[in-house]
Amino acid sequence: MKFFRLSTFSFLAFLLATSLLASGCAGKKKNKKKQDQLAALRGDDIPLSSELEDWQFVEANDPLVFNDVYFQYNSSIIREDARPQLERIAEWLKDRRNVALMIEGHCDERGSKEYNLALGEQRALSVRRYLTGLGVDAERVYTVSYGEEKPLSDLHDDEGWSENRRAHFLITR
Amino acid sequence: MKKFLFTLLLLTMATSAIAQVSLSVSKRASSKTKLALADFECASSDETALAEELKGILKNDLKLSGHFLLMATGSVSGNSLREIANWKQRGAEVLVFTQMESRGSSIEVISKVIDVTSGQVVLKEKFKRPEADKAQLMHEVAEAIIQGVTGKPGLGASQIAFVSNRSGSKQVYTVDWDGRNLLQLTNGREIAIYPKWSPLEQKILCTDYSNRLPHIFVLDLVKQTKKPLSKRPGLNAFARYSPDGKKMVLTLSRDGNPELYTCMADGSRLKRLTRTKSVESSPCWTPDGKKIVFVSNRSGSPQIYWMNADGSQVQRLTRRGRYNTSPEVSPDGNLIAYCSMVGGKFQLFVLDPETRESVQVTRDTNSNEDPSWGPNSRHLAYTSTKKYKSDIYLIDINEGHPIRLTRGLKDCTSPSWSPSY
């Protein structure tokens, strides 16, 4: 399944690359977006957009679209079952070009706090990369990690832990 | 056969660890100095109770340093030549005599330390502090005695910064290493976590969410100010000043992945050190400033690495354990403390970076993590968690004996021990 995903992605990357070459003199911003999308499909890092001036993110009113997505223990890889969810978010964002997205990365309480803060950021970035790969403008997707500092569930068992290993979404009004 | 081999391997591992520890313990036991602490001489009899209290603090400090065997002194107080000879006969190697006087609101102490074998005065020094700081006064006296006799640093009047949820939100606090003088340093609406003491100054770097994003702030304890040093896009965390105070090392995610960077102490002139697909966190410097020790999960699980301060020559230091994090190099540069997951809980270990040998320090049923070295390169402050309640503890890596530092505060974690000023 993983190989299938990789090959689909590289095929998409190839298509994009050729269309990019063909379009040639597309606008600079559009060009940047395509470059980011290609980078995302290759699995490369996409630098975060310039400083966030002020915080205006709120909980989304659309719970069917903005469900949390979950991760395996000590992993930031996007799970198979998270993909339809992320595709819905990507479509939603593509329809509303003036909305920005904040992805919160969270971890369970096992593991050490500092490492988990960095892991939470990697989870958020991994979601950002996936959305960028689906054609969402990377410039309007931000990340914040809380590590294990803001658990959703206070259960200290497998159920609580898997609920806490999540990416949560906020949007601008 | 396979099972037998495995057991054998376990056995050898266990015996080698024990052998190493017991070897160093026996060596240390013999190197303890027999010390007689005479009752304090007071200027007036009203001061006897205060003198007893101060002697108690001094006695505790000397005992805790691990360098001395304290002899029962009874009510001996004189320091005549005859008395010294008497102490020599009883096996004492060092005598400590103290004169004390209250002057208004301050206390003055004269400490005299005699090497019984040579008959020489090792130390004769006057100390003075306001009465409110009597504990710090005795810590100063203890520090002078320890340094005078052993030539090594003690804990002095050092402090420990940590995070507590006491106010309902995680904030940074400081407390003296003996549990006195608790002080809340940050008081924002958002959390302030992972304090890291400057090796030179009364400054603490922390990861603070005042702007609702993880940014690096510096708390200046002298000027009593807090200001941002790094607020780049994404994660800004775990910053530490270099030993000369001129630079910082930290984790940033601005380029799309959590990586290590250095910059100047004011946050300018960024230089990227790592370029990976993995998580890099918790960096710290060796005291010579030449190397940076850090955590990376590039092998698939978090492990301890070090590299040159320019990012070259990365080497993995931990070989055993599936989950090794939170490294900190001792102030003397000889050992790296870290924590490792053992049976679902963390335990503290120390690692010799030359030989890459590790020795387990804590073995209790709590989960013990986030070690931070005391200025004597011998005690560690750490977070100990039992039934989801965390407190800060101290432990002597040579002798064990965990000491609980925080009580009745909510959820105390992430200690960082100050240098001795």
> According to the model, what pLDDT value does residue B274 have?
98
Q: Do B213 and A149 touch (CB under 8 A)?
A: no
Given this model, what pLDDT does residue B312 score? 98
Query: Could you tell me the CA-to-CA distances from A163 to A70, A121, B46, B132 in Å, in that order?
Result: 7, 17, 64, 50
Q: Which helix (H) or strand (E) element contains residue B236?
A: strand B236-241
Q: How far is CA B356 from CA B320, B348, B374, B408, in A?
A: 10, 16, 22, 39
Q: Which fold has domain A51-172?
A: 60s Ribosomal Protein L30; Chain: A; (3.30.1330)
Exposed/middle/buried for B250, CB within 10 Å: 0-12, 13-18, 19+?
buried
Which range among A74-83, A118-127, B38-47 shows the weakest confidence by mean pLDDT? Answer: B38-47
Residue A50 has its nearest CB partner, among B233, B257, B301, at: B233
**pLDDT higher than threshold 70 for residue A97:** yes
B396: Cβ–Cβ under 8 A, 6 or more apart, which residues?
Answer: B64, B66, B378, B379
Query: Does A55 touch chain B if contact means CB atoms closer than 8 Å?
Result: yes
What single string gives the DSSP state of each residue in B195-227?
A: EEE-SSSSEEEEEE-TTSS-EEEEEETTTTEEE
Q: Is the pLDDT of residue A6 over 80?
A: no
What's the gap between Cα B101 and its chain centre?
32
Which residue is closest to B368 within chain A, CA to CA?
A112
| List of E strands, B44-139 | 68-71, 94-103, 106-115, 120-130
* Gap between the Cα atoms of B241 and B57, Å rounded: 33
**CB pair distance less than 8 Å for A48 and B281:** no
Do B325 and A74 lie within an 8 Å CB cutoff? no
Amino acid B76: pLDDT? 57
B328: tokens are 């900190």
Task: Give the per-residue pLDDT at B381.
Answer: 98
Query: What does DSSP assign to residue A41?
Result: H
pLDDT for residue B128:
96
A26 burial level (CB within 10 Å; 0-12, 13-18, 19+): middle
What is residue A158's three-state secondary structure? helix
Minimum-distance CB partner of B281 among A45, A46, A118 = A118
Does the CA dihedral A91-A93-A94-A95 come out positive or negative?
Answer: positive
* Total CB pairs under 8 A between chain A and B: 109
In this structure, of A116-120, A139-143, B45-49, the range with the lowest mean pLDDT score is B45-49
Judged against a pLDDT cut of 70, whether residue A16 lies above it is answered with no
| Chain-chain contact of B256 with A125 (C-beta, under 8 angstroms) | yes
B325 contacts in A (CB within 8 Å)?
A: 111-112, 114-115
Give A42 to chain B, closest Cα distance, Å.
Answer: 12
Closest by Cβ to A145, choosing from B212, B214, B233: B214
In this complex, the residue of A74, A114, A149 whose CB is nearest that of residue B282 is: A114
Which three-class secondary structure state does DSSP give residue B403? strand
Structure tokens at B125: 């020094």
- Identify the DSSP state of A103: E
pLDDT in tens, B4-50: 333 333 333 333 343 344 334 334 445 899 999 988 998 888 889 99
| Per-domain boundaries in chain A | 1-44, 51-172
Dump pLDDT digits (tens) for B252-278. Answer: 999 999 999 999 999 999 999 999 999
Share the mean pLDDT of chain B: 90
Closest CA to B301 of B341, B343, B351, B258: B341
Cβ proximity of B397 and B361 under 8 Å? yes
> B215 is written with which tokens?
């940014």
Q: Across residues B138-150, what is the average pLDDT?
A: 96
Q: Measure A21 CA to nearest chain B CA, in Å.
A: 25
Compute the distance between CA of residue B9 and CA of residue B264 in angstroms, rounded to an integer: 48
Higher local confidence (pLDDT), B119 or B225: B225
B243: tokens are 């030993």
Top pLDDT among B192 and A64 is at: B192
Reported confidence tier of residue B328, pLDDT bands at 50, 70, 90: very high
Q: Which SS3 state, helix, strand or coil, does residue B318 take?
A: coil
State mean pLDDT over B128-141: 96
Helix ranges (DSSP H) in B200-333: none
Q: How confident is the model at residue B67 (pLDDT cuts 50, 70, 90)?
A: very high
Minimum Cα–Cα distance from A52: chain B residue: B233
Contact across the interface for B170 and A145, Cβ inside 8 Å: no
The highest-confidence range among A21-35, B22-36, B112-126, by mean pLDDT, is B112-126
Residue B367: pLDDT over 70: yes
ipTM of the complex: 0.89
Measured between alpha carbons, how far is B47 from B41 in angstroms, rounded to an integer? 9
pLDDT at A27: 75
Tokens of B276: 């990976």
pLDDT tens digits along B382-416: 999 999 999 999 999 999 999 999 998 989 999 99
Cβ of A50 and B295 within 8 Å?
no
d(CA A143, CA A101): 8
* Local confidence band at B227 (pLDDT 50, 70, 90 cut-offs): very high
The reply to whether A49 touches chain B by the CB within 8 Å rule is yes
Average pLDDT of A50-65? 81
Distance in angstroms (rounded) separating the CA atoms of residues A17 and A38: 7
C-alpha closest to that of B367 among B336, B407, B402? B402
Q: What integer pLDDT is reported at residue B80 of this predicted model?
A: 67
- Phi first, then psi: give them for residue B419, nearest 5 degrees: -75, 175
Q: How close is the nearest chain A Cα to the Cα of B25, in Å? A: 30
Domain B159-417 superfamily per CATH: TolB, C-terminal domain (2.120.10.30)
Residue A10 clears pLDDT 60, i.e. is over it: no
- How high does pLDDT run on average in chain A? 87
The fold of B32-150 is Rossmann fold (3.40.50)
Domain boundaries in chain B? 32-150, 159-417
CA–CA distance, B287 with B309 (Å, rounded to integer): 12
Higher pLDDT, B393 or B84: B393
Burial class for B74, CB neighbours closer than 10 Å (0-12, 13-18, 19+): exposed
CA-to-CA separations, A55 to A1, A52, B222, B237, in angstroms, rounded = 39, 7, 32, 19
In A, which residues are within 8 Å of B232 by CB distance?
51
Per DSSP, helices labelled H in A62-136 are: 83-95, 113-133
| pLDDT at A109 > cutoff 60 | yes
Separation in Å, CA of B328 to nearest CA in chain A: 13
CA distance B283 to B309: 11
Residues of B in contact with A110 (CB under 8 A): 344
The per-residue pLDDT for A62 is 83
pLDDT confidence of A11, banded at 50, 70, 90?
low
Is residue A8 scored above 80 in pLDDT?
A: no
Tokens (6 digits) for A84: 């339809």
Of A45, A74, A110, the CB nearest to B257: A45
- pLDDT on residue B195: 98
Contacts of A48 in chain B (CB under 8 A): 233-234, 253-256
- The pLDDT of residue B15 is 35
- Token pair in block for residue A8: 């689909």
Residue B85, pLDDT > 90, answer: no
Per CB-CB distance under 8 Å, the chain B contacts of A129 are 256
What's the whole-model pTM score?
0.89
